[in-house]
């Protein structure tokens, strides 16, 4: 726990949270029309025909990770979701953290119960931090909700190629 608190303190100094200008929820809504664009390295790439953007998704067990861009495409998002109880009450907000090989990133999670399909809840991190993008593309392991009972590990193998396929999808 002490190690996690040290990471949190360091993260408070170096994290750049996206501003409220990017406050619109970038995660696809259940009514959005998603069309499978392809698969790369264990990730599925979807074209969102409703919003005109693309995202990459990796699901495993009771958890799922999504990555994409906001409407202005200058800010990316990382959505982390699980069917496990993560302690979010409907409509409440709390901090959500991920650790990528010891580098801590955070954002605000809003309970999404009833909004996401198949009973997932979680939140997303908005960021224009090139370090987060680089870590997601080049590192090998991401721990979501570190130091909590709902923590899960995501193998980032294939993420670099999936992100490249997502950028290609955006150009179509």
- Report CA-CA distances (Å) from 38 to 45, 50, 76, 147: 5, 18, 20, 34
Query: What confidence score (pLDDT) does residue 139 get?
Result: 95
Hey, where are the domains in the chain? 2-170
Query: What confidence score (pLDDT) does residue 160 get?
Result: 96
Query: What confidence score (pLDDT) does residue 33 get?
Result: 92
Query: What confidence score (pLDDT) does residue 138 get?
Result: 95
Which tens digits make up the pLDDT trace of 11-54? 333 333 443 434 567 888 778 899 999 999 999 999 999 989 99
Query: For the domain bounded by 2-170, which CATH number is listed?
Result: 2.60.40.1880
Q: Is 9 exposed, middle or buried (0-12, 13-18, 19+ CB in 10 A)?
A: exposed
- Report CA-CA distances (Å) from 31 to 5, 72, 80, 115: 39, 21, 19, 10
Ranges in the chain, pLDDT < 70: 1-24, 86-92, 109-118
Dump strand ranges (E) for 83-157: 93-100, 103-110, 121-127, 141-144, 152-155
Query: What confidence score (pLDDT) does residue 165 get?
Result: 97
Question: What three-state secondary structure class fits 71?
Answer: coil
Residue 60 region by backbone torsions, left for phi larger than 0, else alpha for psi between -120 and 50, else beta: beta
CA distance 109 to 99: 16
CA distance 124 to 56: 14
Instruction: Write b or e for each residue in 35-56: b if 16 or more Cβ atoms lie within 10 A of its Cβ, otherwise e.
Output: eebeebbebbbbbbeebebbbb
């Amino acid at each position: 726990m002490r190690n996690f608190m040290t990471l949190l303190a360091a993260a408070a100094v170096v994290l750049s949270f996206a501003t409220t200008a990017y406050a619109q929820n970038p995660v696809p809504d259940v009514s959005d029309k998603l069309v499978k664009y392809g698969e790369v390295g264990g990730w599925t790439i979807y074209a969102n025909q409703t919003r005109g953007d693309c995202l990459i998704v990796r699901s495993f067990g009771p958890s799922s990770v999504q990555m994409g861009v906001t409407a202005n495409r200058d800010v990316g998002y990382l959505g982390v979701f699980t069917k496990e109880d993560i302690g979010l009450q409907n409509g409440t907000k709390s901090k959500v953290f991920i650790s990528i090989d010891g580098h801590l990133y955070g954002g605000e999670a809003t309970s999404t119960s009833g909004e996401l399909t198949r009973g997932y809840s979680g939140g997303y991190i908005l960021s224009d931090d090139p370090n987060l993008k680089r870590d997601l593309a080049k590192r090998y392991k991401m721990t979501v909700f570190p130091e909590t009972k709902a923590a899960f590990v995501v193998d980032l193998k294939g993420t670099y190629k999936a992100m490249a396929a997502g950028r290609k999808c955006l150009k179509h």
